[in-house]
Chains A and B, each alone.
Chain A
């Protein structure tokens, strides 16, 4: 904005304010109605939806859902969309950081005097696209199941291992045949053909990248798990 445009804005604003109404009681009235609605909604949600606890946290457990609260679904989904491990840092921190910086600096690169959205096509389109993208990612994150059952043919000696997979929440992040989510983790359908048993075991124990470590699982479960996964060719 040029100094003259700034001046023009301030003068226009001064006039608009002259024609306005006092904050009290007019705006206060609206704000109070809104506040009542907000508290009403929160109270209603609390009564209807409650605050049930899940099972107690247990590092050695085999049933959990490693999923964030819904408002972080979009981040989780970005991870699922961007698969190659070398791009994961970009997806996890790179994209959100860039978005935050762009958001923070918005007033410094969008300096035009125009304020009407229909006359700011670039800003308005970018805004709408961002909303659609976040909405879509949140939706996709919400419907992405975290199945705890595996529907596939498993030889009897590997049955135990497949149950550990199902019960440990691996499928929240890995695809296995027709089961599970495709990402953020790599597909496990043919994992046995890709890496040796020892490497599988190491990954499970270390928890590479964003994957949690499963070293707290009982030794025998870890072995069953590794047996099952390395059988997948």
Chain B
């Protein structure tokens, strides 16, 4: 689809919504980075800064009943899928008002009722699960699609290969979204992969492979809606590779000294939010004051989310025993 057609198809409302979501992810992540470094937030965090176009582009192509699976780096996926920021924030603080009632934490953000499996922090771990969810949709004849997000690093796990092969063989309505940010923790993919494009791996499973520019939300949306549509209409699963980059460290206080400065700088020039903002302004979809209004709104929203989280109720210690077996108390 040409850019103009795409813009027309999406319409002003959806385009600004997409921008808003991307900006919400960026703001959320920047604020918690600060809170974390100040020691106000418990646990560890893996952030999504720089990758916003991936989650928003894909999730904007989904419908209400669809479901996503995510990784140790789930905040962006969760916001893009529509889990309220305040519930994510409260989860990061371990409060009962969090989306997993404080049981999950940063690496397990999700809410099955809102279309997101609690994130799985075992690299590659969500891929077979998502394949199984898609299998259920097929067996039950439901008009739903399951989407797995994972990284370049995860594509070297056995779980990835087993799941993709099975998905292809059973022709399940799934999309496997590989966010290739060129590093798995500190390891450059050049050290651990002999091929250039992870999407090429699709061919070994007789599956469609596709590549999108993960820094361009419109390109991600365009390709994602095509392959989600394929899955929905029974044409089988796709491996969709998004070429992207994370500006932040892998986790916590990682200064990412293993990434050359020039590489970081060259990617920052392709910033997904700045670029999309430029497109929206050029196409007169929104004006400067509209952008400012929207950014102020998001800023306030995240500040409120922090307040909601910090002031939220702590669980009771004995809550450790709740939410486990469906029909049995935890034997003590």
Please determine whether chains A and B interact with each other in the same assembly: no
Q: B interface vs A, CB < 8 Å?
A: none
**Residues on A close to B: CB < 8 A?**
none
